[in-house]
């Protein structure tokens, strides 16, 4: 019973991700979500308060899983270089393996609707904290010079985000992970790692 309920919840979430990826949150009729999820339209309202909540839960559930994975991967490494590489690699490979989620994340992350913004901000802030934590650790270990944490995080997140958006938008997408090394190199330079003396 409970697994069936959960199964349907997940199916709707997946259907919504694909539906939103297809045409965007506002363009996408609830009927399309239902169709892709293989449930009736009304069923969606047994699991979600409304269409808006479906979008919100996508971020909470799926971005949450992404951040959890990121935290796990980071915990496996010690050095700041490894941490930076982990961030880039995990970000790119996760998005590459979840293209529809990437599309939704990249495109619908930016919502002027304040209710949605607020609900999205949670998982996003958590990710921001992870990135800032890595930088902070580098500074504390005196491997990275004093830097404005927010600006550094904006650079890292922004770079990953722009790369992902480029990849999502491209008609014939290259592999995203091919950008890992160049990106890591840029980050290392920006944070003054690996420099002679």
Residues that bind a second copy (CB under 8 A): 20-24, 26-27, 103, 106-113, 117, 147-148, 150-152, 154-155, 157-163, 165-166, 169, 179, 182-183, 185-187, 189-192, 195-197
Member of 52, 77, 126, 132 binding DNA (CB under 7 A):
52
Q: Which is nearer to a second copy, 39 or 159 (CB)?
A: 159
Q: What count of other Cβ atoms lies within 10 Å of the Cβ of residue 14?
A: 18
Paired tokens of 61: 């559930």
Residues 6+ apart with CB under 8 A from 185: none
Selection from 175, 171, 195 nearest residue 185 by Cα: 195
Q: Which is nearer to a second copy, 29 or 158 (CB)?
A: 158
Residue 159 near which of a second copy, DNA, none (CB within 5-8 Å, type-dependent):
a second copy
CA angle, corner 95, sides to 39 and 24, nearest 5?
50
Q: How far is the CB of 15 from DNA (least distance, A)?
A: 12
Member of 27, 79, 121, 175 binding DNA (CB under 7 A):
27
Instruction: Using DSSP, state whether 100 is helix, strand or coil.
Output: helix
């Amino acid at each position: 019973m409970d697994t069936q309920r959960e199964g349907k919840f997940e199916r709707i979430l997946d259907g919504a991700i694909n539906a939103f990826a297809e045409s965007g949150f506002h363009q996408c009729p609830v009927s399309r979500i239902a169709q892709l999820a293989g449930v009736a339209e009304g069923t969606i309202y047994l699991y979600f308060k409304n269409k808006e909540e479906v979008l919100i839960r996508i971020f909470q559930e799926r971005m949450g899983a992404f951040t959890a994975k990121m935290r796990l991967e980071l915990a496996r490494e010690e050095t700041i270089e490894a941490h930076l590489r982990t961030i880039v690699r995990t970000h790119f490979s996760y998005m590459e393996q979840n293209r529809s989620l990437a599309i939704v994340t990249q495109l619908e992350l930016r919502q002027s609707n304040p209710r949605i913004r607020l609900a999205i901000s949670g998982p996003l802030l958590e990710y921001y904290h992870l990135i800032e934590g890595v930088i902070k650790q580098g500074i504390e270990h005196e491997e990275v010079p004093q830097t404005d944490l927010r600006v550094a995080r904006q650079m890292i997140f922004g770079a990953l985000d722009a790369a992902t958006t480029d990849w999502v938008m491209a008609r014939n997408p290259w592999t995203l992970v091919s950008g890992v090394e160049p990106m890591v190199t840029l980050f290392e330079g920006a944070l003054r790692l690996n420099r002679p003396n």
